[in-house]
Structure 1
């Protein structure tokens, strides 16, 4: 983990352009300030400054770190401001707390994150590799370094209070900026590496995302991609905290906060799917009424698919279809479609391989007004790593290719 205590001296040198004035501001020896810069240069493996007797100028690598460090410290300043509003009697202590310049031991931050994930000090201590008493002391010291209560302590155990949760969110976003600094410096050296975490929403998983990942990794084998499959609210929360780089898939219908950017890549209606030798597959044209006797497999009531299909049928004066099985599991739906006379309404993007192979077909009936958008949900541009940007661009290209192909596997 990056030794974050060296970042404040780094910023001071950038601000003043030389060691002498930076050491005066920090009230530290020039040798100590120089050592902090050298530690950072050793960590990133690059020269951050071009040095002369009179002036230290940022290199391109240094500029990348400087930009990300400023964004990280801005996050911490927001946390400090919010806590000052909550604790007006502790303003002077908060404003001078070393925590808000990340002058804190990395082990304490590791314990904080481990504790918030596992909810118990004993399991957090085991995860970090320290004893439980040492973990308890480290969290106590961290709280003391901030200067306001961060934990609720009761007989049932210890938990973050509202102030602790607020601080945690800003710290996570700050450290995410510093991780991005490392990937940007690697990119400047000509190497795309690091971890890209993608929230994989429906529509993207069967085809678009696998194809895009495969293409990017073929060109940049040192890059690593991790996908997360979870409810939208969980993934959006991870996106806000910097734990997730971006989301891709079926876009939410509800408006989102201004801090998040929505980019629509594809928009297409649902289709009615069945196996290729289904009794209805040979029909050249069908009406929706022709499907009322069929048995359906559909997601449960209240899902976007059911609501869109229900609205489409209602516009034609038709009732809800006969739903024999309610499920959102793609594997189960696929199996039922292939092994029975059931039909389903879904996006083509959920069954691309089956449609290309011809084992599933689209029935010749239109579902007007059932369009769903697929796209990308991310934070603003300054939150994207080089690897994430490359993957996003490849996803755009795959979607452009798909949009130009039109329908596939349509029943004769």
Structure 2
């Protein structure tokens, strides 16, 4: 956002709630001219009127309503965490101080935090000292190896990250009023999403919103989930976990996928029908890593059967394709991922005597997440890929 002065943003909410400059100044314990100046600056920063001025009071414009909605969501996350440490912090904590606190929580070191923020080390140290002085308590335990945050400080840092993400979303919401694209959409992509769901959806989205930045993050599920919960990632696309990994995320099922066994075109099992488990077990395998839904199904199917040693763990269809093409390895992977490789004749599907259970594929996002218009548009395009037969 252009303006991230927390005091000004709180005054904007106060005017929206009371409809009067005088009442807002009383609620915020500042002068009426200070409220007037804050609203004027916000309107300049955000490119238009946030309030209609009438004799009856101040009323939010559509632009102002979009901002106020995001601010409520941000402060609803931030304020309880601030108050849990000290009610005074709601009045005194600044954006810069909270940024410094979050960086120190994550790095456990003031010097590393300063480097991350591109600030001088004394600046970050002073920000932490000021927060602790206002809170009347230590927020970190000073240890020989660094600074360890208290439980409440860790909770505050997470609330700060999520509140900051709402501010980012506000920038995108307000840009819509001017026909602009702002911010970026961050997608956590699991293997199946990278090869099946996302490519065409992104091509279609780019044709509609050519200026919107999109970042696709590859990674392991646990890493992506951490990024999602802290606000760095907007949505994860791929295999869902059963049960859901934690209560603050929502899983939206799009379709069910089944595993398949693939091999190089030269493999002895190619062309056979109803290949039993014991015949498959005679060959080495390339399989997804431990803990993934696909690997759990694979392990359950071969439980009690001796497999050749030295299983190769790999979730990439490209790597798996090259390994099976150059050896007698078998690959176990998502049927959706393997479809294009099989249709092009690059690998062969083994006709196995297995009735694989379906694996739920879909979207994972934060509970109570409110996507921007462009984010909603991209999600709808991903959903439409399923409706059009991508599953």
TM-score (norm 1): 0.85
Pairwise mapping of residues 6-405 of structure 1 onto structure 2 (< 5 A)? 6-80=8-82, 82-83=84-85, 94-95=86-87, 97=88, 99-100=89-90, 103-299=92-288, 303-313=292-302, 319-322=305-308, 324-330=310-316, 331-403=318-390
Give the number of equivalent residue pairs.
Answer: 388
Contact 2:273–2:352 under 8 Å retained in 1:
no
Q: 2: CA distance between counterparts of 1:6 and 1:136?
A: 25
CA contact (8 A) 1:297 1:324 kept: no
Shift of 1:53: 4.1
1:78 offset after TM fit, Å?
Answer: 2.4
Q: Could you tell me how far apart the structure 2 residues matched to 1:155 and 1:282 are?
A: 65
Q: Partners of 1:337 and 1:158 in 2: how far apart?
A: 49
The CA distance in 2 between the partners of 1:109 and 1:154, in whole Å, is: 21
Following TM superposition, by how much is the alpha carbon of 1:352 offset from its aligned partner in structure 2, in angstroms? 4.4
Consecutive unaligned residues of structure 1, counting only runs of 5 or more, are: 84-93, 405-412
Question: What is the alpha-carbon distance in structure 1 between the residues aligned to residue 384 and residue 38 of structure 2?
Answer: 43
Distance 1:325 1:332 in 2: 14
CA deviations 1:8-39 (Å, max 9, x no partner) are 21111112212222223333232211111122
TM-score (norm 2): 0.89
- What secondary structure sits across from 1:226 in the alignment? strand
**Cα contact 2:263–2:349 (8 A) shared by 1:** yes
Report the CA distance shift for 1:221/1:112 in structure 2 as closer, same or farther (over 3 A).
farther
User: CA, structure 1 residues 354+323, in 2 after alignment: closer, same or farther (shift >3 Å)?
Assistant: farther
CA drift at 1:377:
0.8
Sort the Cα spacing of 1:25 and 1:381 in 2 relative to 1 into closer, same or farther, 3 A.
Answer: closer
Counterpart of 1:222 in 2: which secondary structure?
coil
Contact 1:206 1:351 in 2 (8 A): no
Q: Distance in 1 between matches of 2:247 and 2:288?
A: 31
Task: Quote how far apart the aligned CAs of 1:211 are.
Answer: 2.4
> Structure 2 unaligned runs (5+)?
none
How far apart in 2 are the matches of 1:79 and 1:223?
33
- What SS does the aligned partner of 2:191 have? coil
Q: How far 1:237 moved relative to its partner?
A: 2.7
In structure 2, the CA distance between the partners of 1:149 and 1:47, relative to structure 1 (3 Å rule), is same
Bigger mean CA deviation after superposition, 347-356 or 237-246: 347-356
- Residues 1:362 and 1:10: Cα distance change in structure 2 (over 3 Å): same
Deviation per CA, 1:233-268: give whole Å up to 9, x if none: 332233222222111111112334443211111212
Q: Is the 8 A contact 1:149 1:163 kept in 2?
A: no
- What does residue 86 of structure 1 align with? none
RMSD, aligned CA:
2.5
- Which has the larger displacement, 142-151 or 65-74? 142-151
- Equivalents in 1 of 2:227, 2:242: separation in Å? 19
Query: CA 1:249–1:67 in structure 2 vs 1: closer, same or farther (change >3 Å)?
Result: same
